[in-house]
Amino acid sequence: MNDAKTELGHKILKLKKAKGLKWTDIAARIGMSPVWTCALCMGQMSAEPHHAKGVAEILGLDEEEAATLCEIPYRGAQPMPPTDPLVYRFYELIMVYGTTWKEMIHEEFGDGIMSAIDYDMTLERQPDQKGDRVRITMSGKFLPYKRY
Protein backbone atom coordinates (compact mmCIF):
# COMPACT_ATOMS: atom_id res chain seq x y z
CA MET A 1 0.00 0.00 0.00
CA ASN A 2 1.17 3.54 -0.55
CA ASP A 3 1.84 5.60 2.55
CA ALA A 4 -1.48 7.50 2.53
CA LYS A 5 -3.48 4.29 2.02
CA THR A 6 -1.43 2.47 4.67
CA GLU A 7 -1.98 5.21 7.24
CA LEU A 8 -5.68 5.42 6.37
CA GLY A 9 -6.03 1.65 6.70
CA HIS A 10 -4.57 1.78 10.23
CA LYS A 11 -6.91 4.66 11.13
CA ILE A 12 -9.93 2.80 9.73
CA LEU A 13 -9.11 -0.29 11.81
CA LYS A 14 -8.98 1.85 14.97
CA LEU A 15 -12.24 3.64 14.14
CA LYS A 16 -13.98 0.37 13.25
CA LYS A 17 -12.94 -1.13 16.59
CA ALA A 18 -13.90 1.98 18.57
CA LYS A 19 -17.36 2.00 16.97
CA GLY A 20 -17.84 -1.74 17.47
CA LEU A 21 -18.41 -2.33 13.77
CA LYS A 22 -17.84 -5.43 11.66
CA TRP A 23 -17.00 -5.47 7.95
CA THR A 24 -20.48 -6.87 7.32
CA ASP A 25 -21.98 -3.77 8.98
CA ILE A 26 -19.99 -1.33 6.86
CA ALA A 27 -20.50 -3.35 3.67
CA ALA A 28 -24.26 -3.55 4.13
CA ARG A 29 -24.48 0.21 4.58
CA ILE A 30 -22.57 0.94 1.35
CA GLY A 31 -24.12 -1.91 -0.65
CA MET A 32 -20.95 -3.89 -1.30
CA SER A 33 -19.58 -7.25 -0.15
CA PRO A 34 -17.68 -7.49 3.15
CA VAL A 35 -14.58 -8.86 1.38
CA TRP A 36 -14.45 -5.98 -1.13
CA THR A 37 -15.17 -3.43 1.60
CA CYS A 38 -12.34 -4.74 3.78
CA ALA A 39 -9.96 -4.82 0.78
CA LEU A 40 -10.91 -1.21 0.00
CA CYS A 41 -10.27 -0.07 3.55
CA MET A 42 -6.95 -1.97 3.64
CA GLY A 43 -5.81 -0.07 0.54
CA GLN A 44 -6.18 -2.77 -2.12
CA MET A 45 -9.21 -1.43 -4.04
CA SER A 46 -10.40 1.92 -5.37
CA ALA A 47 -13.86 3.17 -4.46
CA GLU A 48 -16.45 4.99 -6.50
CA PRO A 49 -17.09 8.37 -4.85
CA HIS A 50 -20.47 7.29 -3.40
CA HIS A 51 -18.89 4.23 -1.74
CA ALA A 52 -16.05 6.36 -0.32
CA LYS A 53 -18.58 8.90 0.96
CA GLY A 54 -20.53 6.09 2.65
CA VAL A 55 -17.44 4.70 4.37
CA ALA A 56 -16.43 8.23 5.40
CA GLU A 57 -19.86 8.91 6.92
CA ILE A 58 -19.90 5.61 8.82
CA LEU A 59 -16.39 6.04 10.23
CA GLY A 60 -16.14 9.83 10.48
CA LEU A 61 -13.44 10.31 7.83
CA ASP A 62 -12.78 13.71 6.28
CA GLU A 63 -13.03 14.62 2.56
CA GLU A 64 -9.32 14.06 1.92
CA GLU A 65 -9.50 10.59 3.44
CA ALA A 66 -12.60 9.79 1.37
CA ALA A 67 -10.67 10.91 -1.72
CA THR A 68 -7.81 8.59 -0.73
CA LEU A 69 -10.27 5.68 -0.82
CA CYS A 70 -10.96 6.57 -4.48
CA GLU A 71 -7.29 6.51 -5.53
CA ILE A 72 -6.04 3.57 -7.59
CA PRO A 73 -3.87 1.50 -5.25
CA TYR A 74 -0.52 -0.13 -5.67
CA ARG A 75 -1.79 -3.64 -5.10
CA GLY A 76 -0.01 -6.52 -3.48
CA ALA A 77 2.74 -4.61 -1.70
CA GLN A 78 3.40 -7.41 0.80
CA PRO A 79 6.84 -8.75 1.72
CA MET A 80 7.57 -12.13 0.12
CA PRO A 81 7.36 -14.53 1.67
CA PRO A 82 4.73 -13.01 3.96
CA THR A 83 5.73 -12.71 7.60
CA ASP A 84 2.29 -12.71 9.24
CA PRO A 85 1.42 -16.31 10.19
CA LEU A 86 -2.15 -16.20 8.85
CA VAL A 87 -1.11 -14.58 5.55
CA TYR A 88 1.79 -17.04 5.30
CA ARG A 89 -0.66 -19.98 5.41
CA PHE A 90 -2.19 -18.73 2.14
CA TYR A 91 1.30 -18.49 0.65
CA GLU A 92 1.86 -22.05 1.88
CA LEU A 93 -1.39 -23.15 0.19
CA ILE A 94 -0.11 -21.75 -3.10
CA MET A 95 3.28 -23.44 -2.67
CA VAL A 96 1.63 -26.81 -1.97
CA TYR A 97 -1.51 -26.66 -4.14
CA GLY A 98 -0.62 -24.04 -6.77
CA THR A 99 0.51 -26.57 -9.37
CA THR A 100 -2.57 -28.71 -8.62
CA TRP A 101 -4.93 -25.75 -9.10
CA LYS A 102 -3.12 -24.84 -12.32
CA GLU A 103 -3.32 -28.37 -13.70
CA MET A 104 -6.97 -28.83 -12.79
CA ILE A 105 -8.03 -25.41 -14.17
CA HIS A 106 -6.19 -26.11 -17.42
CA GLU A 107 -7.75 -29.57 -17.68
CA GLU A 108 -11.24 -28.11 -17.21
CA PHE A 109 -10.94 -24.83 -19.13
CA GLY A 110 -7.82 -24.97 -21.31
CA ASP A 111 -4.83 -22.64 -21.49
CA GLY A 112 -5.60 -19.51 -19.48
CA ILE A 113 -5.91 -17.99 -16.04
CA MET A 114 -8.51 -17.28 -13.37
CA SER A 115 -9.07 -13.55 -13.14
CA ALA A 116 -8.45 -11.73 -9.88
CA ILE A 117 -10.09 -8.65 -11.44
CA ASP A 118 -13.44 -10.15 -12.49
CA TYR A 119 -13.59 -11.97 -9.19
CA ASP A 120 -15.83 -12.68 -6.21
CA MET A 121 -14.97 -14.08 -2.80
CA THR A 122 -16.92 -14.92 0.32
CA LEU A 123 -15.62 -15.86 3.74
CA GLU A 124 -17.76 -17.56 6.34
CA ARG A 125 -17.58 -19.53 9.57
CA GLN A 126 -18.45 -23.20 9.15
CA PRO A 127 -19.44 -24.80 12.46
CA ASP A 128 -17.72 -28.14 13.08
CA GLN A 129 -17.74 -30.40 16.14
CA LYS A 130 -13.93 -30.57 16.02
CA GLY A 131 -13.64 -26.77 15.95
CA ASP A 132 -15.07 -24.15 13.62
CA ARG A 133 -13.62 -23.99 10.13
CA VAL A 134 -12.94 -21.09 7.77
CA ARG A 135 -14.75 -21.45 4.44
CA ILE A 136 -13.48 -19.27 1.62
CA THR A 137 -15.21 -19.42 -1.74
CA MET A 138 -13.42 -17.83 -4.70
CA SER A 139 -14.90 -17.33 -8.14
CA GLY A 140 -12.90 -15.73 -10.93
CA LYS A 141 -13.68 -15.39 -14.60
CA PHE A 142 -11.65 -17.73 -16.81
CA LEU A 143 -9.52 -15.78 -19.27
CA PRO A 144 -8.06 -17.84 -22.11
CA TYR A 145 -4.68 -16.87 -23.51
CA LYS A 146 -5.01 -15.18 -26.88
CA ARG A 147 -3.29 -16.74 -29.86
CA TYR A 148 -2.06 -14.22 -32.40
- Please say if 135 is a catalytic residue: no
Residue in 103, 115, 133, 139 annotated catalytic: 115
- Please say if 125 is a catalytic residue: no
Residue in 57, 64, 89, 124 annotated catalytic: 89
Secondary structure (H, E, C), 97-139: HHHHHHHHHHHHHCCEEEEEEEEEEEEEEECCCCCCEEEEEEE
Secondary structure (H, E, C), the chain: CCHHHHHHHHHHHHHHHHCCCCHHHHHHHHCCCHHHHHHHHCCCCCCCHHHHHHHHHHHCCCHHHHHHHHCCCCCCCCCCCCCCHHHHHHHHHHHHHHHHHHHHHHHHHCCEEEEEEEEEEEEEEECCCCCCEEEEEEEEEEEECCCC
Residue in 48, 57, 64, 92 annotated catalytic: 92
- Please say if 139 is a catalytic residue: no
Q: Which residues are known catalytic residues?
A: 89, 92, 115
